Amino acid sequence: MSKTRVPLAEADLDQLRAFATSRGAEFSKHMGASQMIGAIRKSGWTHDYAEFDDGPPAAKKQAAPEKVMASTLDPSLFTRRDLGQADAPMVYAAKLPDAEVRRLKAEGAIFIDGLTDEEIREIKVRQAELKRLRDLRDNSYVRVEVHDTKEEGALKKIPLAVNGVAMAVERGVKSDLRWPYYLALQAEETIFEKDNNDRIIGYRTTPTYPHSVIDGPDLDKAEAA
C-alpha cells in the first residue's frame, strides 16, 4: 500500500492529531502545532514528515478568519526581535552529497558542521513556531484615526504601501490597519528651522501623518516586561 507523506512543519492540526493518534502519542486537544510535533517526537518518530496509509485527512474548509485586534494579543509579540528570524534560511549539518550541498547553498541555506539530527529538528520546529507567531502578529489589526487637516493640498486619503501592496486610509475616519500597515503609518519627516538669513539653526521631526491609536497593543507594558 502506498503511503502519503506530509512535512510536519506544513501539516495542519487535524493532520498532526490524526498522525499522533496513529502513533499512540499522548496529547491534548489544547496543544498547538509545535506542541503536537513534540508529542509525536516523544512517541519515537524521528522523521520530519507524517506518514499516512490512505492519504492525510483532508484539511477542513476554514471559515473566513475573524478579525483579531492587536490589543488582544501578548504585547511582547510586537517588540520581540527574534520574530524577524522566521524566514531565516534553514540550517543544515553538512552530511549530504556535494551536489546537494551546492544546490542548497545557492538557495541561501546555512550549513553548520557538528549539529545532531535532534538539534536540526529543534531548529526546524523553532522556525515553524516563529513563523506562526509572526503571522499572528502581522495579521492582527490596530484601530487608528488619521487627524484631519486644513493644510492646502493635503491628501484626504493617505496612501500606505507594504511590499508593493497599497491601501488608502481616509482622514478623520476610524480605520483598522493590519500591523505592517500601521508601522508604515509611523513615517516621520524632518522640519528644518531657519533664521532670518535662511540659515538652518535647528530641526525637529514630526509624524508625516499625525494620528491617534484607538485600539492597539500595549507597547509600554511589553517594554517594561
Q: What are the extents of the domains in the chain? A: 1-62, 141-212
Query: Across residues 213-222, what is the average pLDDT?
Result: 82
Indicate the pLDDT class of residue 197, thresholds 50, 70 and 90. confident
The residue type found at 31 is: M
Say how far residue 161 (Cα) sits from the centre of its chain.
18
> With pLDDT > 70 as the criterion, what percentage of the chain qualifies?
87
Q: Which residue has the higher pLDDT, 62 or 5?
A: 5
Residue 151: per-residue pLDDT? 81
Q: Which residue has the higher pLDDT, 89 or 4?
A: 4
Query: Across residues 159-187, what is the average pLDDT?
Result: 92
Indicate the pLDDT class of residue 2, thresholds 50, 70 and 90. low
Output the pTM of the full model: 0.59
Residue 101: per-residue pLDDT? 79
DSSP state of 102: H
Query: Across residues 156-176, what is the average pLDDT?
Result: 91
Residue 177: per-residue pLDDT? 95
Indicate the pLDDT class of residue 29, thresholds 50, 70 and 90. confident
pLDDT at 117 exceeding the cut of 90: no
Encode burial over 60-86: b for 16+ CB neighbours within 10 A, e otherwise: eeeeeeeeeebbebebebbebeebeeb
